[in-house]
Copies of this chain bind each other. A is one copy, B any other.
Amino acid sequence: MNQALEGLKVIDLSRVLAGPYCTMVLGDMGANVIKIERYPFGDDSRSMGPFQGEESYSFAMANRNKRSICLNIKKRDGLDILLKLVEDADVFIENFRPGVASKLGIDFDTLKAINPGLIYCSISGYGQTGPYKDKGGYDIMAQGLSGIMSMTGEIGGAPVKSGFAVNDIAAGVTAIYSILAAYIYKLRTQKGQYIDLALVDAGLAWTVWESAAYFGAGEVSVPNGSAHRVSAPYQGFQTKDGHILIGAANEKLWKLFCEKVVERPDWLEDPRFLTNRDRISHREELEQVIQEVIGLKESSYWLPRLELAGVPAGPISRYNETLENEHVLSREMVINYDHPVFGPLKSLGFPTKFSETPERLNRPAPTLGQHSSEILLEHGWNEREINSLRDQKII
């Protein structure tokens, strides 16, 4: 089967997560991704555990479907190699702090002169403009400034992080679609362009309902535990052995819940709980009485009972349960393959199920500089020259 992005050539100087996530997905869809790694240590995420020997699982999970060349671009000959690779590329991506690409001689204007059709994507914490542009911006700082952290946590509690690196991923995923849109424009006009993305902007753009509450009514979203803001009960409860979500969010479902699930028809007469509005105003008491009952039995008792009664419900899975869940597995969200260092390796699967151009594992994440020779041979260097570049510590 074909892949959607066959023929798209990507030169990737990005490190750690936002850029690498973007280029991994481009690779999953068939793009030719050449990862340029800094000589001699490579991507910073190669030093992030867990490890097997010297090889990092974190690196492996964010870098499948790429080839690696380890290149010293601070030497003129190394920089020339990079410029040669860029000549016929469609996409160039970097996530240095603003200004660094310019110092390295690989800013947009320089590369555009070599390749006018180039799509050049920069990802940084705060973007290329604005008063904070020179600050170092990591995911956690972006979660803080974008307001996402302040609306996550226990009711009345301190702000907490989203469980995964949400602003890093936001910038990476926004990069994927922005690059593809720019590529569509390039196919039509032969023109390249510059794309400036910030971790803060990318996460902030996703707070759609929260922006409606604020711009429409001045409401500032705050931590709300596991609960829905305007329906109750619609939240997590602790069972005897885990957590489940129960969404008895309208009058009909509340009746079913009381009668069929917990067998407490008396709650239907309780003046504190008569309507959704009453239940919202007595949220704490509601939560407490339900918690007392739900805590008496295991999740495996409650979930089928809720389903039978027709009350929306589901597990709050621990991550190991997620990755072993029958539905998750049937969706092929865990894939198995052989990695040259790790041997048999599991990895997350592909979220898009394309009928004609399936994403697939074309190659496992590369070891550092695994494809240096191969890539240079493709671009016109010969074996002798490549050996000399090695001797000079350029590759």
The 7 closest A-B pairs by CB, nearest first: A57-B216, A151-B163, A147-B322, A50-B216, A193-B356, A50-B217, A180-B180
Q: Complex Cα distance A185/B318, Å? A: 38
A62-105 CB contacts (< 8 Å) to partner B: 62
Q: Complex Cα distance A322/B347, Å? A: 36
Contact of A131 among B48, B127, B327 (CB under 8 A): B327
Whether B210 contacts A50 by the Cβ 8 Å rule is no
Given contacts A149-B163, A207-B348, 13 further A-B contacts (CB under 8 A): A5-B185, A49-B230, A50-B217, A60-B216, A138-B312, A140-B234, A141-B312, A144-B317, A147-B163, A158-B243, A197-B352, A201-B349, A210-B319
Residues of chain B lying within 8 A (CB to CB) of residue A364? none
A361 at the interface (CB under 8 A from B): no
Residues of chain B lying within 8 A (CB to CB) of residue A280? none
Whether B226 contacts A159 by the Cβ 8 Å rule is yes
Whether B185 contacts A357 by the Cβ 8 Å rule is yes
A189-211 CB contacts (< 8 Å) to partner B: 189, 191-198, 200-202, 204-211
Smallest CB separation, A62 vs chain B (Å): 5
Q: Complex Cα distance A101/B129, Å? A: 45
Bitwise interface map of A from 235 to 272 toward B, beta carbon under 8 Å scored 1, else 0: 01010000111010000000000000000000000000
A41 at the interface (CB under 8 A from B): no
Whether B224 contacts A147 by the Cβ 8 Å rule is no
A169 at the interface (CB under 8 A from B): yes
A286 at the interface (CB under 8 A from B): no
Whether A354 contacts B145 by the Cβ 8 Å rule is no
A17 at the interface (CB under 8 A from B): yes
A136 at the interface (CB under 8 A from B): yes
Contacts A150-B243, A212-B60; A331 near B162 (Cβ below 8 A): no
Whether A163 contacts B152 by the Cβ 8 Å rule is yes
A-B contact pairs, 9 of them (CB 8 A): A56-B212, A60-B212, A61-B211, A145-B328, A147-B317, A160-B226, A161-B226, A178-B352, A196-B353
Q: Complex Cα distance A223/B246, Å? A: 20
Residues of chain B lying within 8 A (CB to CB) of residue A197? 351-353
A302 at the interface (CB under 8 A from B): no
